[in-house]
Amino acid sequence: MVLEGGEGTGKTTQADRLAKRLSETGRRVRVVREPGGDPFAEAGRELLLGPIPRTPEAEVLAFNAMRAQLLVAVVRPLLAGGTWVIADRGRLSTLAYQGHGRGVDLEWARSVCDVTVSLCPPDLEVVLAVDPAVSAARRSARGVTDRFEAADDHFHQRVNEGFATEAARAGVAIVDGTDAPSTVTERLWHTLTPRLG
């Protein structure tokens, strides 16, 4: 399962809550994050979230390189061993941030993401969405921590619209993340239920 969405929508909070709930049913569960998840991809994360200038096209390829590393080195072996994997971000983040946010050609970005994700396609993707004011309040409560969080409100608006557009295009469910964490977990659990067997 991949949890997607803009800044402060609650992905990390919900990934941990879902992992706990799944493990209570006797399943082995692991939460991974993008970019990151193993030593090479964590080194890439530092570069990608850092201040060194780069083109948005290079960003698409670099996020996808880190994605390939995570999928092949970590996710595939976990799934093969029977562990459930919850990923904090995936391909829709590249389309929303680099495509809609930074203006990269969407067809090109989609084709790069498709090639990468074919290495280990997700069973389920869900976008968490919150009102922009809620996201802004959560972000400002936490303070600026990386180059994307520091971008202006127009950028975040394009990113949020991008998630909505890409989710509709790909038939991905959008779940409201504005309410209390336990309520949001219930909503997400509902999307998972058909896959629990």
Q: What is the DSSP string of 154-179?
A: HHHHHHHHHHHHHHHHHT-EEEE--S
Question: Please, which residue, 69 or 89, has the CB nearer to ligand T5A?
Answer: 89
Cβ burial of 118 (10 Å; 0-12, 13-18, 19+) is exposed
Q: What's 3-16 look like in SS3?
A: EECCCCCCHHHHHH
Question: Please, which residue, 89 or 163, has the CB nearer to ligand T5A?
Answer: 89
Which parts of this chain interact with ligand T5A (CB under 6 A)? 5, 7-13, 33-35, 49, 63, 89, 93-94, 97-98, 138, 142, 146, 148-149, 177, 180-181, 184
Eight-class DSSP state of 94: I
Nearest approach in angstroms of CB 26 to ligand T5A is 25
Nearest approach in angstroms of CB 112 to ligand T5A is 10
Instruction: Kindly state the tokens that stand for 55.
Output: 């083109």
Nearest approach in angstroms of CB 130 to ligand T5A is 8
The torsion angle over the Cα atoms of residues 110, 90, 123 and 70, rounded to 10 degrees, is 110
Question: Please, which residue, 8 or 84, has the CB nearer to ligand T5A?
Answer: 8
Which amino acid makes up residue 96? A
Nearest approach in angstroms of CB 185 to ligand T5A is 9
Nearest approach in angstroms of CB 79 to ligand T5A is 19
Question: Please, which residue, 151 or 197, has the CB nearer to ligand T5A?
Answer: 151
Question: Please, which residue, 34 or 125, has the CB nearer to ligand T5A?
Answer: 34
